[in-house]
Structure 1
């Protein structure tokens, strides 16, 4: 119990537990409080359920991490109210204008912009780790012709781990990477080698998923080109020699890669850290990040934004569509952000890129619709009151479409550069001098209390049951119907005709 002075300002939070009349003083550091400090606030169970575990201390309930900081990081700073995004202190606008993707990757992972010699070594290492094992190419060929490229990419990263057993803590030792935090050079070398492998091979894997969908043979990486130039080469070269992507498209893609390289602890980065906290290999970590990025509420949003614009069709259809949005009959994609309550600084940088790309590809037919939609949103009280401004997905999809990428490839174009951000956060976690604690969020249990098992003959259906309380009826194809009508015997000799496909 603390004695509280009302006159002396200090960095702490005073909490009065009205259940016990006890007063607690919680320290404030970096404008945050330690969640475990609230475990000290305990009370005897009163009207609480046993499952509330009241005597074990107060828990913090924060659905979807709306206001929970899970790490201390030196990598990316975001101010959502003012629309600020900085990598290691450098404003994103400056990096897009003056830097390139590989230089920015070095900055994100290692903390400083590289010197000339550091950059040369870094670039050479990354670009000499871009070949993939021929068996991984075979894995791509095993997919259906219409598989989503992001599904293939996710599988490919997971598969890569099987080709590097020396990089797997389950085989090479649990502390394979965490030993690097104490200065173990061998551990640090193997950690950084996997970073080079993943960044180097990411474009090759992504291009393989694209070529697989196109029914085209895989290209081999081309040395001498830039990171994004080589990526475009892997995607597009058909025959001939001295293939060179258009410089405007190469530069625009490089800038988009910078913009997409990191975005603090978003859904996929949180997934990477969650999975990485188990000390699994980094290839599995990146595969998990890809799976999270795949979702339409995250990396799939640019694809969804273009589909929305295609549905709207033309500028004159915007008011009618927005009326449906305001009546909550439709979802507006490409506007608003979980963090930004002002203009997304990435969308500002991308808007300028769009004009450069359109100058060589021709004006995207959906641009007028997009601009009309953005103007309508700017004037709409409904949008302003909800801080809904165009985000990064709104314009990036227009650029990707103008460059000729198919819609389902957009998340892959997001995943390739985001590997850098994921690896920067993963490396930071592995190098934590305090060690790596496995992430294990708490829950608030609101289900049934303890009850006795009921024998099958005595069970009754739940009263007032809803459609959520039992499996829904699953339709089956015609071949399943035929099989159901046929007769056969199972392994025990009993008649069996219920096989489903």
Structure 2
């Protein structure tokens, strides 16, 4: 059976708060249907598939989590839940299952209190508008395409008092510091393909709260009062460009989404909505889902860490600390002490290993006192060590997949440009039109080179290699940016915890790098440098600066896609060098300069140039067989082949082949192309390369595209 490849993003629509017609408090009279509400504001969204987000969102950190915990309740039993007998079965069987799910993913909570559940079922086969009338009672049992929260603080307290009584509620609220209404949302019968659930993530909005970002719709004559208690208003989410939208593609009945539809900590409260997914197949079944919404209470939220795994790892003095979740059980033969080391997302933390200690063999000569040393980890080359948790780039070397911020490289390559991809990588979301315009304006404003940079580059002989000229230009830039110079002499840290300064300096650094490359290129080829213009993208300005006429945008579109493929590649040597430099709290340009130096070697960025020079050395196809034999005998290295991460074909190489096809006539004129193709042909069939899983990587053919352009 062929596997279904799920897309990491989709587009669609949902509804948001759109105010009232009279400017007064919003209301709906469910007896008459009268309301002063405007129809919800329908917005187009790009939703990221949670299945492909790394690290995965968790209930304790983000307010929502995907779980693959099945249920014992059948489809028929769920659909029968509207009868008294069926309702009791849900309360007796499914509510305890939901409580166990909550306890499992949180590592245990103080108390889980059942309240109510809702069965939602879509009627009809057409797309319902997000602008449907909020007051239509029958629509309340269908997927609701309006972003909302089930409660805010006053209505959540009211629900708690109606559920357990006012006296017990006051006791719980005084005893427990953190409480939430936790929805365990599960599709019934079929995967939730039509009208899937969407989370409105507000992590990028500081101090998000119920008052500022939520509108209230007060209820009159609400028919649900009898079975749900008084609910004086509905909480509808107001629009904000900083929201990110997350969903799960084809959520299966054996899976469920657990999320805080209210939380005493607003940063964990998760607005949600059904949304119309534009990629929904025409024959997708109508959505059915069940939503039990118990209240969970616990101690202080800060006691819950690492997806419910407590980080205290030792059993010192005979007191065992409970570890919930996976762990290593370690017996130290030097002391015969035992330790439990938590495993989170297939990692152990060095800080947890450091609790393991033993007396040093050599004692202090002066005092003779016993000296205890903590366990340390030795890992030459960092082959088995992760130094950073990141949601920026994900590589699956076994499958040959590359993702930027949850988006496949294929989708970015085909549908977006390099500026958009940079923005996504840096700030974690696709930019709005306004954000992209500001980004490009700021880069263009910083792209005109200072005289000192031009002089430094032009002081080098033209025959100097390009990399050396570029490094010289960037180093000169370090001495021309006033803020960066001042930051090295200012006792008040310029960039630490100051994102406004850091973001602006980072944008200038991008512009400086592109401009230094352009000035170096012009100097090496003895052509005139052209000043950049506003209204151009970074790639368009780069081509302008090096004197290339690109009126039809064919070259810039090709360069855009080629640069996207090289925009980021997880924690490479150069990225690590940049992070090490950044840890000193220096300026962004110095970090990039360190990164450039680290990338110069033949096992990193330098491989691209060596690959092309190797082809020039061979000259003709006739020399390829002898070259392949020399590579196998380890007399030569075959640059552009094999990769430390990918065990199958580099996904970027496939995209480069697409670009080559677009420019096949110009590329075919390069006599070295036939040499490259013969190397690829022989290496793909030779057992030496096949058995070692050495595949073509992105460097092998990319040089031909630059040459053709």
Give the structure with higher Rg (CA).
Answer: 2
CA distance in 1, matches of 2:539, 2:344: 42
Given that residues 331 and 339 in structure 2 are in contact (C-alpha distance below 8 angstroms), is that contact kept between their aligned partners in structure 1? yes
CA distance in 1, matches of 2:677, 2:526: 36
Structure (1 or 2) with the greater helix fraction: 1
Could you tell me which residue of structure 2 aligns to residue 278 of structure 1? 584
TM-aligned CA distance change 1:370 to 1:41, over 3 Å: same
**Greater Cα shift, 285-294 or 128-137:** 128-137
Could you tell me which residue of structure 1 aligns to residue 212 of structure 2? none
TM-aligned CA distance change 1:60 to 1:385, over 3 Å: farther
CA distance in 2, matches of 1:197, 1:160: 10
SS at match of 1:119: helix
Could you tell me which residue of structure 2 aligns to residue 60 of structure 1? 377
CA distances 1:39-78 after superposition (whole Å, capped 9, x unpaired):
2222234599x9xx99422221111111111111121111
Pairwise mapping of residues 160-199 of structure 1 onto structure 2 (< 5 A)? 160-167=477-484, 168-180=486-498, 188-199=499-510
TM-aligned CA distance change 1:380 to 1:192, over 3 Å: same
After TM superposition, the score normalised by the length of structure 2 is 0.52
Could you tell me which residue of structure 2 aligns to residue 414 of structure 1? none
Given that residues 80 and 342 in structure 1 are in contact (C-alpha distance below 8 angstroms), is that contact kept between their aligned partners in structure 2? yes
Given that residues 361 and 402 in structure 1 are in contact (C-alpha distance below 8 angstroms), is that contact kept between their aligned partners in structure 2? yes
Could you tell me which residue of structure 1 aligns to residue 200 of structure 2? none
Could you tell me which residue of structure 2 aligns to residue 12 of structure 1? 327
2:236 pairs with 1:236 = no
CA distance in 2, matches of 1:104, 1:272: 20
CA distances 1:104-134 after superposition (whole Å, capped 9, x unpaired):
1111111111122222222222222211212
2:470 pairs with 1:153 = yes
CA distance in 2, matches of 1:231, 1:262: 19
SS at match of 2:354: helix
Note the C-alpha offset of 1:146: 2.4
CA distance in 1, matches of 2:410, 2:649: 13
RMSD (Å) for aligned C-alpha atoms:
2.6
Given that residues 42 and 56 in structure 1 are in contact (C-alpha distance below 8 angstroms), is that contact kept between their aligned partners in structure 2? yes
CA distances 1:282-333 after superposition (whole Å, capped 9, x unpaired):
1111111111112121111111111122223333332221111111121111
SS at match of 1:269: helix
SS at match of 2:470: helix
CA distance in 2, matches of 1:339, 1:42: 34
Given that residues 444 and 533 in structure 2 are in contact (C-alpha distance below 8 angstroms), is that contact kept between their aligned partners in structure 1? no
Name stretches of at least 5 consecutive residues in structure 2 with no aligned partner. Answer: 1-313
TM-aligned CA distance change 1:374 to 1:361, over 3 Å: closer
CA distance in 2, matches of 1:246, 1:289: 34
Pairwise mapping of residues 323-402 of structure 1 onto structure 2 (< 5 A)? 323-360=629-666, 362-402=668-708
CA distances 1:136-165 after superposition (whole Å, capped 9, x unpaired):
212222223322222222232232232223
Pairwise mapping of residues 22-61 of structure 1 onto structure 2 (< 5 A)? 22-46=337-361, 55-61=372-378
SS at match of 1:97: helix
CA distance in 2, matches of 1:143, 1:259: 31
Note the C-alpha offset of 1:192: 1.6
Note the C-alpha offset of 1:4: 13
Given that residues 229 and 250 in structure 1 are in contact (C-alpha distance below 8 angstroms), is that contact kept between their aligned partners in structure 2? yes
**Greater Cα shift, 13-22 or 337-346:** 13-22
Higher relative contact order structure (alpha carbons within 8 Å, sequence separation ≥ 6): 1
Structure (1 or 2) with the greater strand fraction: 2
**Greater Cα shift, 167-176 or 249-258:** 167-176
CA distances 1:196-225 after superposition (whole Å, capped 9, x unpaired):
212223222111111111233432224444
Note the C-alpha offset of 1:25: 1.2
TM-aligned CA distance change 1:210 to 1:246, over 3 Å: farther
CA distances 1:429-472 after superposition (whole Å, capped 9, x unpaired):
xxxxxxxxxxxxxxxxxxxxxxxxxxxxxxxxxxxxxxxxxxxx
Note the C-alpha offset of 1:349: 0.7
